[in-house]
Structure 1
Amino acid sequence: MTNFVLVAGAWLGAWAWDEVAADLRAAGHEVHALTLSGLAEKKDLPTGQQIHVQDIVDEIERLDLRDVVLVGHSYSGVPVGQAAERIGERLRRVVFVDSNVPADGVSFLDGFPSDHIWQALDAHDGVWPPLPPAAYAGQDLTDEQIHRLITEGTPHPGATLTEAAVLKRPLGELPATYVKCTLDGRAPLPAVAELVRSGHWDLAELRTGHWPMFSRPRELAGILRDSAGDA
């Protein structure tokens, strides 16, 4: 049995993993979907990127989880990558789902062209509001799924996007799988491409858009099971 800890990206809480979690539990695994501080039911808590890292570490230690497959989607790949380093022997593998990855001293917004997000933060008092419906076009989502993302999503706190990551070891030392969702037309970030090319990380491709926990939950759960060595 593997302990899966699932952390969703910007605007989302633990609720985003409902279908993936159900599939993993049906296969006999323990699943812990985590909402980060400042989002969803925790929207009123103090927040920041290092708080998000500690959210993840604290949950794993509080539950005394071992043999952990730690999963980060989109934004949450940044705190997840840092938490994976800090939980030591509790970690079995980290899975980055179409996500950014941390670099020491670099913020989420510094890791890619992000002028549009800075503009959104300036226009909305330091939070990044959920995207408009048109932004989800071509992402393999139903109208109902898009409606849920918009209406249940929480404005994302800007402090988590601008605070720098802290890593003590090279990212390639983490046992990792990177899941690339191919419908967005973007190649993996250069740091990810190099780690895959060098053989440090495994690459899995999923023909869907950026939110596979909604568009292809069963297929994503299968990749997660494979990453854990589940036959």
Structure 2
Amino acid sequence: MAGAWLGSWAWDEVVPELRAAGHGAHPLTLSGLADRQSTPVGPQTHVRDIVGEIERLDLRDVVLVGHSYSGIPVGQAAARIGDRLSRVVFVDANVPTDGESFVSTWWQGPERLEEVIEENQGFWPPLTAADYDGQGLTDEQISRIAGGSTPQPGITLTDAAVLDRPLGELPTTYVKCLMDGEDPNDDVAELLKSARWDLVEMETGHWPMFSQPHEMARVLLRAAGR
């Protein structure tokens, strides 16, 4: 799952390499975004989207991937799918904390992001092209991301996480994109102390599926092989 404002299309340059290597790849657009903008969104909708798709397709040995915001619903879904799960991969992602939301840990403080959502009729507006500077992206890549982004439903950002299992118990790869900050957040750093968590670093910005799709595919293939 791609992060805020994005849909399954964000993985278009990554998915073919995964399939060419013999893996099933099932990128998912979460409700309220991209081609599913008209789908209603409420509490836990994105978690149900993920769990429901895995069950609908009867997937096994699942490597569940969450980028940025989507780490929060992916982490919750990973804890719910039982022995279907093979590994979680968080790509420069937020991770869920039981009882807290994406807004709870917003770097400017939760009040600021809540204000932005209120000012925009319940949505978080997409970034502008200038906001992508310094992230290792070409002008064409920036244009593609900015042009394809849709407003993020605010409820997905304020919805408190519900964890059925501690994240530290799940087999996990955390991908840190170094142009977006060299060190993981404190909550991720704590989880990386778990023997079940591995750290992978990429020399790129926060959107590696665009800036380095081939290396992103290789990282996911290595994670799937663990």
Partner of 1:15: 9
Match status 1:172 vs 2:168: yes
Name which of 33, 52, 55 aligns with 1:58: 52
Q: Tell me, in whole angstroms, the C-alpha distance in 2 between the residues paired with 1:186 and 1:123.
A: 32
Q: Tell me, in whole angstroms, the C-alpha distance in 2 between the residues paired with 1:142 and 1:48.
A: 35
Change (3 A) 1:107 1:134: same
Name which of 51, 63, 79 aligns with 1:85: 79
Q: Shift of the alpha carbon at 1:186? A: 5.0
Report Cα offsets for 1:94-125 as digits up to 9, x if no partner.
00000000011001110232444333212211
Match status 1:33 vs 2:15: no
Q: Tell me, in whole angstroms, the C-alpha distance in 1 between the residues paired with 2:43 and 2:146.
A: 23
Size of the aligned set, in residue pairs, is 224
Partner of 2:144: 148
Structure 2 residue identity aligned to 1:14: S
Structure 2 residue identity aligned to 1:141: L
Change (3 A) 1:49 1:147: farther
Name which of 128, 131, 146 aligns with 1:132: 128
Which structure shows the bigger proportion of residues in strand conformation? 1
SS in 2 for 1:165: coil
Q: Which runs of 5+ in 1 are unaligned?
A: 1-6
Quick check: 2:100–2:160 contact (8 Å CA) kept in 1?
A: yes
Change (3 A) 1:225 1:147: same
TM-score normalised according to structure 2 size: 0.95
Q: Shift of the alpha carbon at 1:199? A: 2.9
What value does the CA root-mean-square deviation take over the aligned residues? Answer: 1.3
Match status 1:72 vs 2:72: no
Q: Tell me, in whole angstroms, the C-alpha distance in 1 between the residues paired with 2:134 and 2:206.
A: 10
Name which of 185, 207, 219 aligns with 2:215: 219
Name which of 117, 125, 135 aligns with 2:113: 117
Q: Shift of the alpha carbon at 1:67? A: 0.6
Report Cα offsets for 1:33-76 as digits up to 9, x if no partner.
00000001110111135000000000000000001000000000
Report Cα offsets for 1:117-152 as digits up to 9, x if no partner.
333212211111110111100001111111111111
Q: Shift of the alpha carbon at 1:169? A: 2.0
